[in-house]
């Protein structure tokens, strides 16, 4: 997993410096005096790298991670234009995301990591600004499966799996809303996720993920 993440980071950082690519058919790169709308190709793919700033809201005081924790968010996306005459795109992909939270229970600090493989499904609309930059608001949902993580109890100096019995369920899902900015192949976005699935393994309690993303990357 570490080798994959390092490879993706290297690609995201080096491709914009070396690629000679015109995202707008019929327009020279860097030409701002044009009547062409800045649509992507009908199909595009991209790489993303960024930060996931997350909390876990729970009515179980032992699991309530209301203080934010920052983790890695890295992945790849694939998008398709739904209607040729309209800049509306359907985008999906696969991400490795590190979520979690921090809290205090009985005067003892604890942190936990909830690491997921996540699949988003988003509708995006690319807004023409009559410049090389376009604005891309989006909304949709996501599904995720927990693949690892630890709960650390600093008071008792104990650590155990986040997805053991009586802790968290592996399945998660919810809504995502956000906005991106596109310049040629370079792309950046901010998004917020509302977890709707109850990830608490206890039938009498509820826990939900909340996560704010800041990502950058490239689209081809």
Query: Which tens digits make up the pLDDT trace of 131-166?
Result: 999 999 999 999 999 999 998 888 778 888 989 777
DSSP 8-state assignment for residue 62: T
Query: Which tens digits make up the pLDDT trace of 6-56?
Result: 555 555 455 544 444 444 443 444 444 443 344 457 999 999 999 999 999
**Do the Cβ atoms of 81 and 89 come closer than 8 Å?**
yes
pTM equals 0.82
pLDDT of residue 37: 46
As a whole number, the mean pLDDT across the chain is: 84
Question: What is the rounded distance in angstroms from the CA atom of residue 8 to the CA atom of residue 6?
Answer: 5
- Residue 3 DSSP SS3: helix
- Residue 65 DSSP SS3: strand
């Amino acid at each position: 997993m570490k080798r994959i993440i390092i490879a993706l980071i290297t690609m995201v950082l080096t491709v914009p410096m070396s690629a000679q690519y015109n995202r707008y058919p019929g327009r020279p790169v860097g030409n701002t005096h044009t009547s062409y709308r800045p649509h992507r190709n009908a199909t595009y793919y991209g790489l993303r790298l960024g930060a996931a700033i997350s909390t876990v809201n729970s009515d179980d005081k032992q699991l309530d991670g209301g203080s934010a924790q920052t983790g890695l968010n890295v992945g790849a996306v694939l998008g398709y234009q739904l209607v040729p005459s309209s800049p509306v795109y359907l985008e999906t992909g696969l991400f490795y995301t590190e979520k979690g939270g921090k809290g205090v229970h009985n005067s003892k600090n604890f942190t936990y990591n909830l690491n997921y493989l996540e699949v988003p499904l988003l509708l995006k609309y690319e807004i023409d600004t009559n410049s090389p930059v376009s604005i891309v608001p989006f909304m949709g949902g996501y599904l995720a499966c927990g693949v690892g993580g630890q709960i650390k109890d600093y008071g008792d100096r104990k650590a155990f799996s986040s997805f053991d019995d009586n802790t968290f369920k592996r399945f998660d899902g919810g809504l995502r809303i956000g906005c991106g900015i596109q310049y040629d192949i370079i792309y950046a976005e901010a998004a917020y996720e509302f977890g709707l699935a109850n990830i608490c393994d206890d039938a009498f309690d509820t826990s939900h993920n909340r996560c704010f993303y800041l990502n950058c990357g490239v689209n081809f």
